[in-house]
Amino acid sequence: MSDDALLDIRDLRVTYWGKSLLGFRGKAFDAVKGANLSIRPGQTLGLVGESGSGKSSIANAVLGLVPANGGTIRFGDVDLAAMKTRYPPDVRGQIQAVFQDPYSSLNPSMTVEDIVTEPLRVHTTMSRAERRTRAVELLGLVSLSEEHLERHPHQFSGGQRQRIAIASALALAPKLIVLDEPVSALDVSTQNQIINLLYERRDELGIAYLLIAHDLALVHHISDRIAVMYLGHIVEEGPSDRVYRAPAHPYTRALLDAVPVLDPDAQRRRRASRKAAPARETPRLAAQGCPYRNRCPFAMPRCEAQLPPDYPVDGGGTAACFLFEAPAGQGSARLRLVQA
């Protein structure tokens, strides 16, 4: 499936170094520990995980904001990982981004016209008038209009600012847009407006999205496939509906169960089935083994010794969990998991 992929990530490693006393490279910390992901043209991959899972590090590596410390990021014919962070302009223009915080992602001293046309100024030789025409066109795509061109970001609400950020990301007609928590800073009533907008533009313009978010339910609405990250590892990947409705990996399951639902009665039942848990110690785990083993109710001795490889799951996709080692359809362990 990696042959026709637009973006294909293999064994990606992202490492951050602390600083020692004299300013030299200190202790290394692997934020991403060998991730595999793939996105086809015009499709959306939702990348879900909690804080510290490494999902934003993958986004930053794809965008060339941090260098990869190993592995490949194939985008079309080029390996982005090999270029470190110095992408040639034609590649740069094809990968754009929308960030989480619409209050700091727009330059406060620029007008909307400056912000939306900045990619055109950097990458094209369009005249001012041509850029303005294109800017009006782009604002139309995000349901804003020409009258907004001269305004500054602070004159807009959070939802409108995010529309401006999307218009700017669309300016160069990119093939891939990395959406890093695009709606989590917005009000509930505005979130869906932005999700709907992203969905419509994707189908219209044939853009692929890498959607980073912490909320599986939200990601499920718009993604074709979903990948779940935990402590730098991708623990599960598969078609959106399968991951959301029939999560395989114990962590994905825990993640879904922890999200409160809008039904007080259901919440009561869920509460009854668990009792107040003490705070967990920060896991200080040996390098080998499953990253989730100390929280996993199904942990086995071998989970300590060996990192589980990706096993295929019924309904599509993979889970990095020994419970799925048995041939599809026969796993008694999996039955146990489903019953739990």
Partner 1 sequence: MKTVPSDGPAAAPSRRRRGASGSAAIVVVAGAILALLVFLALFADLVSPYDPLRQNLIASLQWPSAAHWLGTDDLGRDVLSRLIHGCRIAVIAAGEATTIAILIGVPIGLFIGYRGGWWDWVVMRVVEAVVSIPGIMVAIVILALLGTGLHKAMIALGILFSTSFLRLARGVVLAEREEVYVRSARVVGASGGRILLGHILPNIAPPLIVQTTLTVGAVLLAEAGLSFIGLGVQPPDASWGTMLSTAAAFMDLHWFLAIPPGIAIILTVLSINLIGDVIRDGVGRGITVAARQDAPVASFAALADVAPSAAALPPPRPDEVLRVEGLRVTVSTADGGELPLISDLSLSISKGETLGLVGESGSGKTLTGLAILGLTSVALRTTHGSIVLNGRDLRTLPRRRIEEVRGNEVAMVFQDPTTSLNPAFTVGSQIAEVLRAKHGLSKSAAWARTVELIDRVGIPRPGERARAFPHELSGGMAQRIAIARALSCNPSLLIADEPTTALDVTVQQEILDLFRDLQAEFGMAILFVTHDLAVAADICDRISVMYAGEMVEMAEVDALFARPRHPYTRGLLSAMPHASDRKPPLPTIRGSVPRPGTWPAGCRFSNRCDFKVAACERRIPLTGTDRLVRCIRADELVLEAAQ
Q: Is 318 in the site for partner 1 (CB under 8 A)?
A: no
Q: Pick between residue 198 and residue 331 the one whose CB is nearest to partner 1.
A: 198
Pick 278 or 329: Cβ nearer partner 1 = 278
Task: Report the nearest approach of partner 1 to the CB of residue 316 (Å).
Answer: 18
Which of these segments, 35-43, 262-270, 302-310, 320-328, binds partner 1 (CB under 8 A)?
A: 262-270
Annotate 164-228 with DSSP letters as a single string: HHHHHHHTT--SEEEEESTTTTS-HHHHHHHHHHHHHHHHHHT-EEEEEES-HHHHHHH-SEEEE
Applying CB under 8 A, the span of 8-16, 25-33, 131-139, 186-194 interacting with partner 1 comes to 186-194
CA distance 254 to 252: 5
Tell me: does residue 146 bind partner 1 (CB under 8 A).
Answer: no
| Shortest Å, Cβ 200 to partner 1 | 7
How far is Cα 311 from Cα 327, in angstroms, rounded to an integer? 9
- Write out the two tokens for 208: 């692929």
CB closer to partner 1 out of 162 and 318 = 162
By the 8 A CB rule, do 39 and 176 touch?
yes
Q: Which residues contact 105 (CB under 8 A, 6 or more apart)?
A: 98, 99, 161, 165
Q: Is 269 in the site for partner 1 (CB under 8 A)?
A: no
First to last CA, the chain: 33
**By the 8 A CB rule, do 201 and 37 touch?**
no
Count of residues interacting with partner 1 (CB under 8 A): 79
Selected binder of partner 1 within 67, 193, 246, 285 (CB under 8 A) = 193
- Determine the residue type at 54: G
In this chain, which of 1, 274, 288, 327 binds partner 1, going by CB under 8 A? 274
CA-CA distance, 280 to 291, in Å (whole number)?
14
Does 155 interact with partner 1 (rule: CB under 8 A)? yes
Q: Is 119 in the site for partner 1 (CB under 8 A)?
A: yes
Q: State the Cα–Cα distance between residues 9 and 75, nearest whole angstrom.
A: 9
At residue 4, what is the residue type?
Answer: D
DSSP 12: E
Torsions phi, psi for 213 (to 5 deg) = -160, 165
Is 4 one of the binding residues for partner 1 (CB under 8 A)?
no
Q: How far is the CB of 129 from partner 1 (least distance, A)?
A: 20
Q: Which is nearer to partner 1, 96 or 318 (CB)?
A: 96
Considering only residues 181, 226, 228, 243, which one is a binding residue for partner 1 as defined by CB under 8 A?
A: 181
44-to-40, 154, 198, 199, 296 alpha-carbon distances in Å = 8, 31, 11, 9, 29
Q: Is 187 in the site for partner 1 (CB under 8 A)?
A: yes
11-40 footprint of partner 1 as x/- string (CB under 8 A): ------------x-----------------
- Among positions 159-178, residues that touch partner 1 (CB under 8 A) are 159-160, 165, 168
Q: Which of residues 202-221 bind partner 1 (CB under 8 A)?
A: 214-215, 217-218, 221
Q: Which residue reads 């939200």 in tokens?
A: 218
Q: Which of 12, 135, 186, 321 binds partner 1 (CB under 8 A)?
A: 186
Residues between 50 and 89 that touch partner 1 (CB under 8 A): 50-51, 63-65, 87, 89
Q: Using an 8 Å Cβ cutoff, are 189 and 8 in contact? A: no
Smallest distance from partner 1 to CB 37, Å: 19
Q: Which amino acid is at 49?
A: G
**Which of 70, 103 has the CB closer to partner 1?**
103
Q: What is the C-alpha separation between 206 and 8, in angstroms, rounded?
A: 18
Q: Return the residue of 11, 101, 137, 304 that touches partner 1, per CB under 8 A.
A: 101
Residue 265 binds partner 1, judged by CB under 8 A: yes
